[in-house]
Structure 1
Amino acid sequence: MNITRDQIDELNAVVKVEIAKDDYREKVDKILKDYRKTANIPGFRKGHVPMGIVQKQYGKAVLVDEVNKLLQDALGKYMTEEKLDVLGNPLPKNQEEFDWDADDFSFEFDLGMAPKFEVNLQPKKAVVSYEIEADKKMIENQVTTIQKQYGKLSPQKEVAKDSEVTGTFFNDEAGIENTTTFEVAALKGKKNTDAFIGAKVGDIITVKTKGLFAEARDFQNAFKMSQDEANDLNAEVTFTISEINKREAADLDQELFDKLFGKGVVTSVTELKDKIKEDAERQFKQQSDQQLLNDVTERLIDETKFDLPSEFLSRWIQSTGEKEMSLEEAKEEYDRSEKGLRYQLIEGKIVQENNLQVTFEELKAYAKEMIKGQMAQFGQLNPEEKELDDIAARILGNQEEVKRLSEQLMHQKMLDFFKENVKLKTKKVSFDDFVKEVYN
């Protein structure tokens, strides 16, 4: 057997594997002899079938199978020994009219080589790291929301500006039939508000969906649809009123504090606001961390320049897709996935050069911390170590869970690494300003 490589350019190579008859003959002959001992062929006793018949019936299939095994083993060993950093898998060349009746065989494979590049973690322009603060307005709004949520409902005879109405939106043609509750104050515009003011239980009000609510979330709750669906909807609907209530705000007293946070945890309005601020900023940190990871990822992709073997990768996508696709379709799929592939290569290089690989011990410790957090939610604050080990072992016995937890842990390791090594600029903002800067 002989293997040679023709390096076309930095990103493309062709490997040629030559297999002679002596490389496979002994193995093929042994398998055919074993077949002869067990073959059931009409007209012959088991074990007495002429070798010529066995060869005629099974010889080609055994040959192809054994040569392919030999080929794959040799190709894999060669790439390992040569330390070839390839993308995708080798693609066979010129297989359409391959002659399996020959004694010696020659196979060629296209290889797509991974590019060589350096990652600069200190860009000229620093990446913004947002520190989202819960401002006074947000905290006051949250206090008001809590008071409404835990307040008492008083029935009303007719709808007023401060009413909550419950009823059913309906439009048969648009497939809308949804019972919901909303505040009249959530409606947008005088025309919509006036349509409800003074209405009584049992009344049917006709309105248009477009521009009905001031906030998108109220629209989505009212019609139970996604933001995209909501944006496209412009229908006339009826609303049949089934309840009219006025919500009296709950008092900010110890009974409410205990109901919210547990007995004695919060004892004053000041402590309530501090707790709201603390909880909100903990959630904001998750959002700001995710945004930081997104922004660093985008910056690295934009500023880390390297070429890819695009033609090879398009053909590889074509050959490995779940459904049959043309080369043109494969190229379109490559274009869609190119950015993700670039980041995989960048991340892989960072992980390798900085020893950020996820170890089993790290994964086990991460799983145990996750389990402790879940148990704490049910009041189990001090679980025994053996119990944690047993639960973690069951979780890590599931390959899907291992994959999911590994991805989460790698996500966290990359985030921590970027915080320590990437050029960042901290920017304190309110949540509203964060949304404006990031999503508008």
Structure 2
Amino acid sequence: MEITLDKQSANQASVKIKLNEADYQPKVDAKLKEYARKATIKGFRPGKAPIGMIKKMYGTSVMVEEINDLLSKSLNDYLKSQTFRILGDPLPVIEDADKIDWKAQKEFEFQYRIGFVDEVTVDLSSPIDVKEYQVEMGEAEVNDAITNLRRQYGQMTNPEESQANDFLYGDFKNESGSIEKTFSLPLSKVTEKELKNFVGLKKGDVVTFNPSKAIAEDVATVLGITAEEVEQLGKACTFTVQNINRTEDAEMNQEFFDKLFGPGQIESEEQFVEKVKAILAENYNKEIKVYSEEKIKDKLVANANIDLPEAFLKEWLLKANEGKVTAEQVEQEYPIYAKQLSWTIVSNEIAKANEIKAEHADVIEKTKDMIREQFASSGLGAQMEDSMDMFVDNYLQGNEGQNYMQMITSVQNDKVLAFVKEKMSIQQEVVSVEKFKELLEN
């Protein structure tokens, strides 16, 4: 067997494997003898069929199978021995494979294309300036959150007269009468200019309106009709009120506090406001932590100067997901994939150089934290902790073991980022919610 590597560029190469009869024939002969021992062929006692007949019947297919196994193992072993990092999987050159005469040839040559990156160096000796942000909650954001909570836990009523933000339940008819339906019309979807025509209505009242002017959002969605039906509406549709539905905001009392946070956890309006403020800040700061860490990753990747084999990776992604994605989808999603791949290369290099490992115990603890967060608002508390081991096992064994591998990667990333932050010059900055949203948009 002869294996040669031809580097065609800084990140792509071809590998040629030449096989002669001595490389594969002993394994082929051994497999055929095994077939002969087990074969049941008409006219012969079990295991007594002539080896010549077995070769004629199975020789070519066994040879193809053994050569493919030999190629796979030899190629993998060869690539593992190289100093560069293989990306994706080797792509066989199909044009050459199609020319093979399996019945006549004794020597074979196979060619594969590979994509790789050479040795990656991540220099952490020079200081890297980065910013970490912390979101400070303003009074407006807290008040909005409290308003939404009171509305969410409010009580449904049926007032006699409509107001803004009510729901009008009734019968709709288009101008020609070809479309009739009964549904609930949210007045929050009505334009400010036309809202006055829907306020002050009572049961039995009829309002005439032009949907294209009165509905502030997509008319088809709000009215629950098709795009074709929208064209048939006309300018003088009617809505006959059958009922008025209104959600009265929940009162700021002990019953409301207990529903949200459990019995006795909050005992005053002041404590409630502080609790909401703390939860909002925690949620925003989780988001901005992700943002800050992405910026750190970007700087590390940029400093590593990784040259990915873009054309090769796009071809490999298309073939690896054959039938599931199109070339256009690969083209569109490639920048995201390339960014993730570049960070994985950098993270692995930092972990290897500094002996950073994701231990099994770390995986268990991170999985527990994830499950606790998912159940945070369920009120299960102690019951969940009693069954925590079962939840963890079920999750980590799910998705054919991929969940465990993903959690290992996540733990390693956490450790790598924590290690890197110790080497960096990090500036802390407190920002408002508005500034936080600007950062995300940019």
Bin for the TM-score computed over the shorter chain: 0.7 to 0.9
Aligned-pair Cα RMSD in Å: 4.4
**CA apart distance, 1:134:** 1.9
1:232-271, aligned counterparts within 5 Å? 239-244=239-244, 250-271=250-271
**Partner residue, 1:341:** 338
1:45-100 superposed Cα distances (whole Å, 9 cap, x missing partner): 44443333322221111111112212221221222233442112222332221233
Matched, 1:138 2:141: yes
**CA apart distance, 1:178:** 8.4
**CA apart distance, 1:223:** 6.5
Contact between 1:158 and 1:199, CA under 8 Å: does it hold in 2? yes
What amino acid maps onto 1:428 in structure 2?
Answer: V
Partner SS for 2:382: coil
What amino acid maps onto 1:438 in structure 2?
Answer: L
- Residue 424 to residue 223, structure 1, CA distance change in 2 (3 Å): farther
Query: d(CA) in 2 for partners of 1:209 and 1:294?
Result: 43
Contact between 2:32 and 2:55, CA under 8 Å: does it hold in 1? yes
Matched, 1:81 2:81: yes
What amino acid maps onto 2:368 in structure 1?
Answer: K
Query: d(CA) in 2 for partners of 1:431 and 1:208?
Result: 36
- Residue 149 to residue 42, structure 1, CA distance change in 2 (3 Å): closer
With normalisation by structure 1, the TM-score equals 0.77
**CA apart distance, 1:383:** 7.5
**CA apart distance, 1:282:** 1.4
**Partner residue, 2:433:** 431
- Which stretches in structure 2 are left out of the alignment for 5+ residues? none
Query: d(CA) in 2 for partners of 1:60 and 1:207?
Result: 76
1:399-421 superposed Cα distances (whole Å, 9 cap, x missing partner): 25424544654565566556555
**Partner residue, 2:196:** 194
What amino acid maps onto 2:382 in structure 1?
Answer: L
May I ask how many residue pairs the two structures share in their alignment? 425
**CA apart distance, 1:133:** 2.1
Query: d(CA) in 1 for partners of 2:232 and 2:434?
Result: 31
Greater mean deviation of Cα atoms: 80-89 or 423-432: 423-432
1:230-282 superposed Cα distances (whole Å, 9 cap, x missing partner): 9xx99957655343356665543444434443343333332222112111111
Partner SS for 2:109: strand
Matched, 1:351 2:348: yes
Query: d(CA) in 2 for partners of 1:177 and 1:410?
Result: 57
**Partner residue, 2:105:** 102
**CA apart distance, 1:363:** 1.0
Matched, 1:402 2:404: yes
Query: d(CA) in 1 for partners of 2:54 and 2:9?
Result: 47
Query: d(CA) in 1 for partners of 2:435 and 2:317?
Result: 42
**CA apart distance, 1:394:** 4.1
- Residue 154 to residue 314, structure 1, CA distance change in 2 (3 Å): closer
What amino acid maps onto 2:169 in structure 1?
Answer: G
**CA apart distance, 1:331:** 8.5
1:322-345 superposed Cα distances (whole Å, 9 cap, x missing partner): 2399xxx75873564144224313
1:25-61 superposed Cα distances (whole Å, 9 cap, x missing partner): 2222222223233334444444443333322221111
With normalisation by structure 2, the TM-score equals 0.77
Partner SS for 2:24: helix
Contact between 1:252 and 1:269, CA under 8 Å: does it hold in 2? yes
Query: d(CA) in 2 for partners of 1:127 and 1:5?
Result: 42
What amino acid maps onto 2:25 in structure 1?
Answer: R
**Partner residue, 1:212:** 215
Query: d(CA) in 2 for partners of 1:357 and 1:147?
Result: 47
Query: d(CA) in 2 for partners of 1:138 and 1:118?
Result: 45
**Partner residue, 1:7:** 7
- Residue 106 to residue 245, structure 1, CA distance change in 2 (3 Å): closer
Q: Percent identity between the aligned chains?
A: 26
Query: d(CA) in 1 for partners of 2:106 and 2:180?
Result: 72
Query: d(CA) in 2 for partners of 1:7 and 1:246?
Result: 72
Query: d(CA) in 2 for partners of 1:257 and 1:270?
Result: 11
1:41-80, aligned counterparts within 5 Å? 41-80=41-80
Contact between 1:154 and 1:246, CA under 8 Å: does it hold in 2? yes
Matched, 1:36 2:33: no
- Which stretches in structure 1 are left out of the alignment for 5+ residues? none
What amino acid maps onto 2:82 in structure 1?
Answer: E
Query: d(CA) in 2 for partners of 1:204 and 1:127?
Result: 62
Query: d(CA) in 2 for partners of 1:364 and 1:129?
Result: 28
What amino acid maps onto 1:429 in structure 2?
Answer: V
Partner SS for 2:49: coil
